[in-house]
Structure 1
Amino acid sequence: MKGDFIHQVKQLSRLLFLFLLLFIVLFGGLFYWVNRPPKPALEIDEIIPVVAVDDSIENGIHLATGFVDDEGMQATIQNCTNCHSAKLVTQNRMSREGWEATIRWMQETQNLWDLGNNEDLILSYLAKNYAPTSKGRRQNIDQTVWYELE
């Protein structure tokens, strides 16, 4: 008699476990079905415009990036602007050693790939066109007509 009671409790606990498992699966499926993202509508007639990159040079400046037009500019664009804006390069001024240290830092901490043969070309370009200058914060204002504030 005691063995029958224990057997019935075990069967009841298995049944409750299966019921709970079924409830979790059904509830999870219902939750996913209600909250699933909508499928995008695909239309055959839809035309996606292709935006062309402006590779024109004006006054010695590459218009799309702001880089100085010089030997090594294309290699610099291809290797630097994949990860960050060209502005991050053009706003900085460093010596060749400074640019090399920055590249090493990006390789060690930011997963920059090995630049291979392009490294010397890029370093030469950056050192020549984005070297430290002593022109100060901004150029002097060239204004010939002055007026008094009242």
Structure 2
Amino acid sequence: MSEENKFKNQVKQIYRMLVVIWCVVLLGVVFAIYALVDPNFSAFNTDEELQAVLVENTIEEDDWDKIENGIHLRTGFVEDDGLMTVVNNCTSCHSAKMVTQNRMTKERWIATIRWMQETQNLWDLGNNEEIIVNYLAKNYAPKSMGRRANLENIEWYNLN
């Protein structure tokens, strides 16, 4: 075998080694990212383990509409007049998070309802619309931005 062929064979071997190393590094990076996203590696759990997690995180039927500290546990909505009307009409199509992450004026809530009716097949809410809009405008209105509230009930201490 000539020197040129030996050299070409060595380059091929080095190239193959680099490809293997690159693949191993890539797999390591993918594994590390997966470990960050799902530290419990739940995709690899057995059916029994997944069922146990589901049972643990399931709201009992008795607690389905339970309210604690002014919050509807199943949805996270604020307890107030019209709560169940909002739950029954809004969470049929989307999660409560879609509502709670938004803050709008009464006019914007109405405009959003109209948009959902025109483009998302939302039904006519009838008399419930006023109840829903009043609930949303009261409990999920825009927050005014400004200076933070004064600190109260603070136990001050001296730094030594």
TM over 0.5: yes
Distance 1:135 1:86 in 2: 24
Partner of 1:58: 68
Task: Give the structure with the higher percent helix.
Answer: 2
Distance 1:104 1:144 in 2: 50
- Structure 1's unaligned 5+ residue stretches are 1-50, 146-150
Q: Is the partner of 2:98 in helix, strand or coil?
A: helix
Distance 2:70 2:121 in 1: 32
Distance 2:145 2:76 in 1: 19
May I ask how many residue pairs the two structures share in their alignment?
A: 96
Partner of 1:46: none
Alignment of 1:10-89 (within 5 A): 52=61, 54-89=64-99
The answer as to 2:106 corresponding to 1:96 is yes
- Structure 2's unaligned 5+ residue stretches are 1-59
97, 102, 124: which one pairs with 2:134?
124
Q: Displacement, 1:55? A: 1.1
The answer as to 2:121 corresponding to 1:111 is yes
Q: Displacement, 1:54? A: 2.0
TM normalised by structure 2 equals 0.53
Distance 1:111 1:64 in 2: 25
1:63-104 superposed Cα distances (whole Å, 9 cap, x missing partner): 100000000110000000000000000010000000000000
What residue identity is the alignment partner of 2:127? N
Partner of 1:29: none
Residues 66 and 112 of structure 1: CA distance in aligned 2, closer, same or farther (over 3 Å): same
What residue identity is the alignment partner of 1:72? G
Partner of 1:4: none
TM normalised by structure 1 equals 0.56
What residue identity is the alignment partner of 2:105? S
Residues 87 and 144 of structure 1: CA distance in aligned 2, closer, same or farther (over 3 Å): farther
CA RMSD across the alignment: 2.6
